[in-house]
Amino acid sequence: MPCRIENPPPPSAAATTLPEPLAWIDGDLARLAADDLVRPRRVRTGKQSARVSLDGIEMVNFGSNDYLGYAGDVRLTKAASKAACAEGFGAGASPLVSGHSQAHEALERAVADLLAVEAALVFPSGFAANTATIAALAGADDVIFSDERNHASLIDGCRLSRARVVVYPHRDLTALDHLLDAAAAARRRLVVTDTLFSMDGTVAPLADLCELARRHAAILMVDEAHATGVFGARGSGLVEQAGCEGGVHVRVGTLSKALGAAGGFVAGHGRLVEWLRHRARAWIFSTAHPPAVAAAATRAIALVAAEPERRRHLLARAAEFRTDLAARNVATGDAAAQIVPVVTGTATAAVALAGRLAARGYFVPAIRPPSVPAGGSLARVSLSWLHSEADLAGLADALAG
Ligand SMILES: Cc1ncc(COP(=O)(O)O)c(C=O)c1O
């Protein structure tokens, strides 16, 4: 039985007036509305799957990161239930105190084995993994080089570190080379990049980045959030696929997207992880995520190993879909993966396109500033192993029509 979610009661008249110190919020919200930047939160009923019911309207779901279809997989639910029965639901403390359960220990081993590295550290979210790791690796005497399209969690980690931050043009290694040269006197230089960029589906030039980092003796940290489980023969990500394991020093990923669970991880050299255990504040000062979630993520890693056909099928379908769109003159930029953007430019046009697609039964979110720069709004199609050929053909028709 799907559970019923009642809408909250309307706020009482007394609650509708903001206290004076917060009165500015009304004006700022009105400006967001005028610029088509209001973000509605819809209530989903039921599991993530190829279909999704949002606010009671069922649509084909092109708006989740459930790339391999594991988020609603009963095998993860069973693993979580078993762990919850054995270890209770809440972790009860930070990992350093008493929150690091057997389920977390098994998950960290499974992540390290998947990535073929010495050790891994699991965080309550990928966002926390990124911010904490960057701030643990760089400080006021250092310089961080950050791709201009990096995810917000990398950007916030840079800010948190208090290092000087140099933003380089998207995937522009000539510019990065010069910028690294110009900062040769810094104590440490850290290059951070997504491997698969979450908004436009482009891929970082990993082999060249490794070479650049090696030449400048810089640390190279990559965020594989959208690549974990999807790329590479073992499914560990784009670093594996590019054969760059030796050149990337710090690998972050999430358990929350293709793996269908929740949490983030950092993986690499054993002493890197030992250092993070002493300096990564979001790991030290935050309750470990529930053991049941760790057990579900460990099960998903086993499924990634056992079911390589899911990622192969997904990437093959994604390539066909992009080719189909190109043949219909729907531009998808430089996308090279399961994330396919249809750039509209203005936020208003993105909202209009998403509305048109929704009217035809397709949920495709409108991505607008601050997720993308002003003028770079888009409708982002996220493909999943769960989609049928008919789903993709129907969406291509709707986008071209
Ligand atoms: C590139 C990237 N890194 C990190 C994160 C954060 O991961 P999580 O959702 O597990 O906190 C996201 C989430 O959307 C992301 O897109």
**Residue among 103, 70, 99, 100 nearest 84 (CA):** 103
pTM confidence score: 0.95
Residue in 53, 146, 153, 198 annotated catalytic = 198
What's the 263 CA to ligand 1 centre distance in angstroms?
9
Secondary structure (3-state) at 7: coil
Q: Note the pLDDT tens digit of each residue in 74-90.
A: 999 999 999 999 999 99
Residue type, 237: G
Ligand 1 pocket, residue 99 CB under 6 Å:
no
Q: At what angle do helices 308-327 and 291-306 cross, to 10 degrees?
A: 70
**Residue among 201, 178, 197, 200 nearest 189 (CA):** 178
DSSP states of 106-125 as a string?
HHHHHHHHHHTSSEEEEES-
- Which pLDDT score is estimated for 401? 84
From the CB of residue 45, how many other CB atoms can be counted at a distance below 10 Å? Answer: 16
Residue in 100, 257, 289, 387 annotated catalytic = 257
Ligand 1 pocket, residue 198 CB under 6 Å:
yes
Question: Looking at ligand 1, which residue's alpha carbon is closest to its atom 8?
Answer: 126
Contact between residue 181 and residue 216 where contact means Cβ atoms under 8 Å apart: yes
Ligand 1 pocket, residue 194 CB under 6 Å:
yes
387 catalytically annotated = no
How far are the Cα atoms of 19, 110, 227, 386 from residue 378, in angstroms, in the given order? Answer: 36, 36, 21, 23
What's the 127 CA to ligand 1 centre distance in angstroms?
5
Ligand 1 pocket, residue 151 CB under 6 Å:
yes
Question: Looking at ligand 1, which residue's alpha carbon is closest to its atom 10?
Answer: 126
Ramachandran quadrant class, 334 (left: phi over 0; alpha: psi -120 to 50; beta: rest): alpha
Ligand 1 pocket, residue 87 CB under 6 Å:
no
Q: Note the pLDDT tens digit of each residue in 309-325.
A: 999 999 999 999 999 99
Ligand 1 pocket, residue 63 CB under 6 Å:
no
- Which pLDDT score is estimated for 15? 64
Atom of ligand 1 nearest to the CA of 150: 1
Contact between residue 303 and residue 75 where contact means Cβ atoms under 8 Å apart: yes
Q: Is the dihedral of CA 127, 130, 134, 135 positive or negative?
A: positive
Task: Give the tokens for residue 200.
Answer: 């436009």
Dist CA 269 CA 273 (whole Å): 7
N-to-C CA span, the chain: 37
- Which pLDDT score is estimated for 16? 85
- What domains sit in the chain, N to C, each tagged with a CATH number? 40-68+308-400 (3.90.1150.10), 74-306 (3.40.640.10)
pLDDT in tens, the chain (401 residues): 333 334 444 455 456 899 999 999 999 999 999 999 998 899 999 999 999 999 999 999 999 999 999 999 999 999 999 999 999 999 999 999 999 999 999 999 999 999 999 999 999 999 999 999 999 999 999 999 999 999 999 999 999 999 999 999 999 999 999 999 999 999 999 999 999 999 999 999 999 999 999 999 999 999 999 999 999 999 999 999 999 999 999 999 999 999 999 999 999 999 999 999 999 999 999 999 999 999 999 999 999 999 999 999 999 999 999 999 999 999 999 999 999 999 999 999 999 999 999 999 999 999 999 999 999 999 999 999 999 999 999 999 999 98
Dist CA 43 CA 46 (whole Å): 10
Atom of ligand 1 nearest to the CA of 255: 10
**What is the best residue among 153, 286, 289 to mutate for testing ligand 1's pocket, by most ligand atoms within 8 Å of CB?**
153
* Per-residue DSSP letter, 231: S
What's the 64 CA to ligand 1 centre distance in angstroms?
12
Ligand 1 pocket, residue 193 CB under 6 Å:
no
What's the 224 CA to ligand 1 centre distance in angstroms?
9
257 catalytically annotated = yes
- Which pLDDT score is estimated for 48? 96
Q: Which residues contact 315 (CB under 8 A, 6 or more apart)?
A: 230, 231, 337, 338
Residues in the chain: 401
Atom of ligand 1 nearest to the CA of 128: 11
In 161-223, at which residue ranges do the beta strands (DSSP E only) sit?
164-168, 189-194, 219-223
- Which pLDDT score is estimated for 2? 37
Q: Which residues contact 378 (CB under 8 A, 6 or more apart)?
A: 199, 200, 341, 342, 343, 344, 350, 366, 367, 372
The answer, yes or no, to whether the previous bond of 370 is cis (omega within 30 of 0) is: yes
**What is the best residue among 64, 254, 257 to mutate for testing ligand 1's pocket, by most ligand atoms within 8 Å of CB?**
254
In 269-376, at which residue ranges do the beta strands (DSSP E only) sit?
339-345, 362-363, 366-367
